[in-house]
Structure 1
Amino acid sequence: MTPQEMDSRIVRYGELQPCKTAFIDAHTPGSNQKENFTIIGGGVSESPDQHVHISIPHGFNIGAAGQPPNCRNSLHSHRTAEVFFVLKGRWRFFWGRHGDAGEVVLEEGDIFNIPTGIFRGFENIGTDYGMIMAILGGDDAGGGVIWAPQVIEDARDHGLILSQKGKLYDSKKGQSLPDGEQPMPLLSDEELKAFPEPTTAEVVPNYVARYWDLVALADRQPARVIGADAKLRDKPGFEVDFITQSTKLDGRQRHDNPAVLMPVRGHWKVTWDGGAATLAPGDTMSVPENTAYGIAPAMTGEAALYRTVGTGDPAGATWKGH
Structure 2
Amino acid sequence: MTPQEMEQRIVRYGELIPCKTAFIDAHTPGSDQKENFTIIGGGVSESPDQHVHITIPHGFNIGAAGQPPRVRNSLHDHNTAEVFFVLSGRWRFFWGRWGTAGEVTLEPGDIFNIPTGIFRGFENIGTEYGMIMAILGGDDAGGGVNWAPQVIEDAADHGLVLAETGKLYDTKKGERLPAGVAPMPLMSEAELAKRGEPTTAEVLPNHVARYWDMVALADRAPCKVIGETGLLRDRPGFEVDFITPDSATKAKHSHDRPSVLMPVKGHWRVDWDGGRATLAPGDTMSVPEGLAHSAVPSMTGEAALYHIVGTDDVPGPTWKG
TM-score (norm 1): 0.99
* Residue deviations 1:123-148 (CA, integer Å, cap 9, x gap): 00000000000000000000000000
Query: Residues of 2 paired with 1:320 and 1:188: CA distance?
Result: 19
Deviation at 1:270, TM superposition (A): 0.1
* Residue deviations 1:56-113 (CA, integer Å, cap 9, x gap): 0000000000000000000000000000000000000000000000000000000000
1:278 matched to which residue of 2? 278
Q: Which shifted more, 16-25 or 169-178?
A: 169-178
- SS of aligned partner of 1:185: coil
Aligned partner letter, 1:200: T
Deviation at 1:217, TM superposition (A): 0.3
2:79 matched to which residue of 1? 79
* Residue deviations 1:10-43 (CA, integer Å, cap 9, x gap): 0000000000000000000000000000000000
- SS of aligned partner of 1:99: coil
Deviation at 1:191, TM superposition (A): 1.4
- SS of aligned partner of 2:252: strand
Are 1:218 and 2:198 counterparts?
Answer: no
Answer yes or no: is the 8 Å Cα contact 1:82–1:114 preserved in 2: yes
Answer yes or no: is the 8 Å Cα contact 2:252–2:272 preserved in 1: no
Q: 1:77 to 1:101 in 2, by over 3 A?
A: same
Aligned partner letter, 2:270: V
Answer yes or no: is the 8 Å Cα contact 1:267–1:278 preserved in 2: yes
Answer yes or no: is the 8 Å Cα contact 2:88–2:131 preserved in 1: yes
2:7 matched to which residue of 1? 7
- SS of aligned partner of 2:294: strand
Q: Which shifted more, 171-180 or 66-75?
A: 171-180
Answer yes or no: is the 8 Å Cα contact 2:68–2:124 preserved in 1: yes
1:42 matched to which residue of 2? 42
Answer yes or no: is the 8 Å Cα contact 1:240–1:308 preserved in 2: yes
Answer yes or no: is the 8 Å Cα contact 1:251–1:292 preserved in 2: no
Query: Residues of 2 paired with 1:239 and 1:317: CA distance?
Result: 16
Q: Which shifted more, 242-251 or 49-58?
A: 242-251
- SS of aligned partner of 1:204: helix
Aligned partner letter, 2:28: T
- SS of aligned partner of 1:150: helix
Answer yes or no: is the 8 Å Cα contact 2:227–2:240 preserved in 1: yes
Are 1:289 and 2:289 counterparts?
Answer: yes
Query: Residues of 2 paired with 1:191 and 1:265: CA distance?
Result: 41
- SS of aligned partner of 2:136: strand
Answer yes or no: is the 8 Å Cα contact 1:251–1:272 preserved in 2: no
Deviation at 1:290, TM superposition (A): 1.0
Extract structure 1 runs of 4+ deviating beyond 4 A: none
Query: Residues of 2 paired with 1:147 and 1:135: CA distance?
Result: 19
- SS of aligned partner of 1:56: coil
Are 1:179 and 2:202 counterparts?
Answer: no
Deviation at 1:252, TM superposition (A): 2.1
* Residue deviations 1:159-210 (CA, integer Å, cap 9, x gap): 0000001000001121110011000000111210000100000001100000
Q: Which shifted more, 165-174 or 215-224?
A: 165-174
1:160-171 paired onto structure 2 within 5 Å: 160-171=160-171
Deviation at 1:320, TM superposition (A): 3.8
Query: Residues of 2 paired with 1:20 and 1:300: CA distance?
Result: 37
Give aligned pairs, total.
321
Answer yes or no: is the 8 Å Cα contact 2:263–2:283 preserved in 1: yes
1:115 matched to which residue of 2? 115
Q: Which shifted more, 310-319 or 224-233?
A: 310-319
1:234-245 paired onto structure 2 within 5 Å: 234-245=234-245
Aligned partner letter, 1:14: G
Query: Residues of 1 paired with 2:320 and 2:100: CA distance?
Result: 20
Deviation at 1:250, TM superposition (A): 2.2
Answer yes or no: is the 8 Å Cα contact 1:88–1:131 preserved in 2: yes
1:120-159 paired onto structure 2 within 5 Å: 120-159=120-159
Query: Residues of 1 paired with 2:184 and 2:176: CA distance?
Result: 13
- SS of aligned partner of 2:93: strand
Aligned partner letter, 2:248: K
Deviation at 1:312, TM superposition (A): 1.9
- SS of aligned partner of 1:5: helix
Deviation at 1:249, TM superposition (A): 2.1
2:30 matched to which residue of 1? 30
Q: Which runs of 5+ in 2 are unaligned?
A: none
1:232 matched to which residue of 2? 232
Aligned partner letter, 1:2: T
When the two chains are superposed, the root-mean-square deviation of aligned CA atoms in Å is 0.6
Query: Residues of 2 paired with 1:14 and 1:251: CA distance?
Result: 30
Answer yes or no: is the 8 Å Cα contact 1:243–1:304 preserved in 2: yes
Query: Residues of 1 paired with 2:84 and 2:296: CA distance?
Result: 24
